[in-house]
Amino acid sequence: MTQGRPGGAAAWAPLWERDVELAAATRAVEELCADATTMGGLIVFSGEAGIGKTALLAEVRRIADGRATVWSARGGEAVTSVPFNVVRQLLQPALVHLAPDQAREYFGDCYDIAGPALGIAEPGGRQPDPQGVCDGLVEAVSRLTRLYWPLVLLIDDVHWADQETLHWLATFAQRLDELPVLVVVARRPGEAKGDSARHLAAVAAKARSFTTLRALTPDAAAGLTRATLGEHADAPFCREVWAVTGGNPYESVELLAKVQDSELEPVESSADELRALNRTARGRGLVARLEGLGTDATRFAWAAAILGSSISTELAASLAGMTLESAERCAERLCTARILVDGDEGLEFVHPLIATTVYDSIPAATQTAMHGQAASVITHSGLGAAAASRHLLEVHPDDDPDLVEQLREAAAEHLAVGAPDAARRCLERALKEPPLPEIHARVLYELGCATLLTSPVTTIRHLREALSTPGLAQELRVDAVCRLSQALVHNDQLEEGLRAIAEEAARLEEGPARLRLQAVRYMWEGIHAGEEDSPGRSRRLAELAGPLTGRDNAERALLILRAFDAMTRGESAELVVELC
């Protein structure tokens, strides 16, 4: 069994000491392919960077190829803030072959809510509920699993998946007992925080097999060394390879590739040179090796690190400020040096450790400036404000009204597909710019809308600040008060919610805006206030609704509330029907 490592003559090496993991994966694939009634399940590989998780996933792909449909995706440290990024990657092979009419017919009711999140449908007019979007994605993927059975889904570096994908994966994992699909994920422990860590824990809890990968033993390191350099590699040299790398498979393979490049004899007298060679694989040694390739190659590598994953040579050339021809030469040089690899979806770093080292080597001021340039390049390429927003988040505040508008536009795009956390990050960053005084209250209001019920306390703070800041038009003020009351009620602060409505209603003259506030007040009272003054509330509601004809939403809402109240109090059925 072999693993592929991109670039260089030593790109192939045996997969050592992974027999137990491969046997579990092989058994799972065979069971899945047996018949369509067999359920697949979930396998998790966990381990530190370079321990061989990616190689294991590549081997699972080899095992499944020709027997099952295999789709794969990979999280990226630089793109964790891009909502639905990994689930879109994962489903791309299916989505590109589904025409809009086919997708609508196949996905059915979940098309309108899951389609925008997957990028195959335009968002609707209303802000979708994040849980509803997650459930729609679960249903959509469940249908695909039956269409493409037997199906194997591979997700590498899942600890760097966006939060929306992790929410979907944690929910989807609950359904795996009833679906003919095998999901195999690889993760580093301790990388994810907050909700992402919670979702990953839920995924791990549903795994049929959870394996923490260990470093290679000295014997395995010796076997790898001799398989790469030849059987003449002596024991002291092999032992030093293990000692220098700590048995880390990635570092071992890289070190042995450098031994081949330098034509070092694999004998005891050469062992002292291994540590110096190993230092060029990561950290300052890698940076020095990169700088040795020249200024243009370094600048191109910086641009690639800023862009993150699935790197377009054209975009990287624009960001690096060079011609496409020069960029292609730099890319070739970096691939030869085993820093980049040309993959199916564009350029990628050979390993995330390299990507992190290159990114961290960019001077802070240059890094910030390049993120700003990347946002501009992405926007001008037609990818949209949402795609550019992850770069705008890294730019230092500088009183830039255009940046505020870009972030607001990105937030609106995120909300439209059911990603309020991504919208919240954009709007919080917009407030730091800060916005112009005339739109400051509007940005606070939009932030309150983004956080609405995911964090009632935060919503309350933002909406109260928006209402106390000059600049909100009456319609937005009324909407802000309605949303504020909703957050207060969800936070068990009914009286404060009713007080906020009453205070705002008292400022308004008779009309639709005031009626809307009164409708919201009666709704909260009817649901939460219990039996206190129930007859009096019913009487006041009847008096208010009596002359209404249902000419706008506020009047219709009050008539519905009046009908419901009449029904619960046992009034005439004819009256209830007439009101409805």
d(CA 180, CA 151): 7
At 365, list the tokens: 């001021």
At 45, list the tokens: 């590989």
| pLDDT at site 453 | 67
For the stretch 282-329, pLDDT in tens is: 778 889 999 999 999 999 999 999 998 889 999 999 999 999 999 999
Q: Residues 420-429, buried b or exposed e (16+ Cβ, 10 A)?
A: bbbbbbbbbb
Mean pLDDT of 569-578: 87
CA–centroid distance for 152 within its chain:
21
d(CA 242, CA 236): 10
Task: Determine which of 46-55, 229-238, 468-477, 527-536 has the lowest per-residue pLDDT on average.
Answer: 527-536
pLDDT at 580 over 90: no
- Residue 344 sits at the vertex; the CA angle it makes with 32 and 316, to the nearest 5 degrees, is 140
Helix, coil or strand: residue 579: helix
Question: Of 10-14, 126-130, 255-259, 522-526, where does the model show the most confidence?
Answer: 255-259
Residue 246 CB coordination number (10 Å)? 14
Helix, coil or strand: residue 66: coil
At 55, list the tokens: 């190689």
| pLDDT at site 134 | 95
| pLDDT at site 532 | 61
Burial of 348 (0-12, 13-18, 19+ CB in 10 A): buried
pLDDT at 7 over 50: no
Mean pLDDT of 464-474: 94
pLDDT at 47 over 90: yes
SS (H, E, C) 87-108: HHHHHHHHHCCCCHHHHHHHHH
Taking Cα atoms as reference points, which of 117, 89, 84 lies closest to residue 103? 117
Tell me the DSSP string of 192-247.
--HHHHHHHHHHHHT-SEEEE--PPPHHHHHHHHHHHH-TT--HHHHHHHHHHHTT
d(CA 327, CA 486): 54
At 434, list the tokens: 């800060």
pLDDT over 70 for what percent of the chain? Answer: 96
Helix/strand/coil percent split, the chain, to 5 = 65, 10, 25
CA–centroid distance for 417 within its chain:
13
Torsion sign across C-alpha atoms 414, 420, 426, 431: positive
Helix, coil or strand: residue 311: strand
Taking Cα atoms as reference points, which of 90, 52, 55 lies closest to residue 181? 90
Are the beta carbons of 56 and 45 closer than 8 angstroms?
yes
Q: Chain-wide mean pLDDT for the chain?
A: 90
| pLDDT at site 35 | 84
- The residue behind tokens 């309020």 is 420
d(CA 74, CA 187): 10
Mean pLDDT of 180-195: 94
pLDDT over 90 for what percent of the chain? Answer: 70
Mean pLDDT of 353-366: 94
pLDDT at 546 over 80: yes
pLDDT at 477 over 70: yes
Are the beta carbons of 16 and 224 closer than 8 angstroms?
yes
| pLDDT at site 11 | 35
| pLDDT at site 3 | 36
For the stretch 20-30, pLDDT in tens is: 999 999 999 99
Helix, coil or strand: residue 264: coil
Higher confidence at residue 570 or residue 404? Answer: 404
Taking Cα atoms as reference points, which of 208, 164, 195 lies closest to residue 31? 208
Global pTM value: 0.87
pLDDT at 250 over 70: yes
Q: Residue 434: is the preceding peptide bond cis (ω within 30°)?
A: yes
- Please list the alpha-helical segments (H only) found in 381-493: 385-392, 401-416, 420-432, 437-451, 456-468, 474-490
